[in-house]
Amino acid sequence: MSSILQSATTAPGRFGPYGGRYVPETLMVPLFELERAYEEAKSDPKFQAQLQDLLKNFAGRPTPLQFASRLTEKLGGLRIYLKREDLLHTGAHKINNAIGQGLLAKKMGKPRIVAETGAGQHGVASATVAAHLGLDCVVYMGTEDMARQALNVSRMRMLGAQVVGVDSGSRTLKDAINEAMRDWVTNVRSTHYLLGSVLGAHPYPTMVRDFQSVIGREAREQILAAEKRLPTHLFACVGGGSNAIGLFHQFLRDAEVKMIGIEAGGRGGQLGEHAARLAAHQGFTGARPGVLQGTYTYVLQNEDGQIAATHSISAGLDYPAIGPEHAWLADQHRAEYSAVSDQAALDAARLLSRTEGIIPALESAHAIAGLIERIPKMSKADLVILNLSGRGDKDMDTYSRLL
């Protein structure tokens, strides 16, 4: 165990062989500047006080750790707790990171932020924080996603952000990230790039993880207070991997706590039909280590190394790469990853709605489906914390069409 933690901390930005900083020369200076500002902020009492104040009074932390009594009963009796990130302002965990980076932008004296968004959740969180802190905000979004997530586009505009449609490639998240990076390169003096997950070049994967680790710090205290013992299993969905690592990180040293990340299995194992980067053991093909958007990690690609098309019913999980720390945790067998289908996620969303009175985001529904599929291999004495990363309002069109 300690070897993981050591190698993860001795080489900055590296998780074993993964991570790093693969960017054009022009981005090295702003990345160093960001790294320095972040390192300073960690021990700056004024910054930390502002962060805590916004997390508490603006975003609504701490979030509850709710015992899911009817779900527990329905699934055979092993005790299940939900970490209720869906109750945060703007409806998902994304605001934890947006607040942290928004404050950093201010600290660096940058009056403008750019962000990418897929489903629109990160765009809304960024636009929200920008408005609250008085920053200009430009959000890049694939035109395909803009059509699918019109409500979030309206929200961002209401908040004063400029939403720029991206018409290249598959017109989804990956293309939006490319455009946001292009904008950042051109405007580095005035602009901070507010990246939404544990992806991209160093320091992003480490910094975003740290901002999201509040989830696991709270959950650890809350479960010890409620059950007087640590959980046996943690479950979280994994797009880029920020809500999952946010929950997992505080438990990494507790070797008895199993961590399970759930990816998007989409319509099946063939390349193009899924977004499962670490589930080759289940027959999901096409993932190999490679570089995408500044970081070395598992990437879905064809035999020539071209980035593959992906599919998931859930826009937030529909991305060809995974955060580099997850790649390392998988290699080390410290965390396990498996994928569930679109259909399993839909069924799980309905089950949670009707047993607990909580309509989950489609992303979070994948975590529930992952738990359901694993139940036969678990024991009644097991104790689960499942990260409910977001609420389902944004997915109501999909739910009403398909259920």
Ligand X SMILES: *Cc1c(COP(=O)(O)O)cnc(C)c1O
Active site residues: 94, 116, 389
List all residues 6 or more positions away from 347 whose beta carbon is below 8 Å from its beta carbon: 369
- Asked whether the CA dihedral 83, 88, 91, 93 is positive or negative, the reply is negative
Q: What is the C-alpha to C-alpha distance for residues 393 and 372, in angstroms, rounded to an integer?
A: 23
Contact 242, 208 (CB under 8 A): yes
- Give, rounded to a whole angstrom, the gap between the first and last alpha carbons of the chain: 44
The least distance separating ligand X from the CB of residue 304, rounded to whole angstroms, comes to: 27
Please state the closest distance from residue 225 (CB atom) to ligand X, in A.
25
Cα distance between residue 318 and residue 13, in whole Å: 24
Least Å distance, CB 337 to ligand X, is 12
In the complex with ligand X, which residue's Cβ is closer, 317 or 352? 317
Do 301 and 286 meet the contact criterion of CB atoms below 8 Å apart?
Answer: yes
Q: Contact residues for ligand X (CB under 6 A)?
A: 92, 94, 119, 121-122, 197, 237-244, 316-317, 361, 363-364, 389-390
How far is it, in rounded angstroms, from Cα 387 to Cα 246? 9
The CB-of-29 to ligand X minimum distance in angstroms stands at 27
DSSP per-residue letters across 131-173? HHHT-EEEEEEEHHHHHHTHHHHHHHHHTTPEEEEE-STTSSH
Looking at the DSSP bridge assignments, the partners of residue 162 are: 138
Whole-angstrom distance, CA of residue 335 vs CA of residue 265 = 18
Output the smallest distance, CB 364 to ligand X, in A: 6
Of 301 and 364, the one with the shorter C-beta distance to ligand X is 364
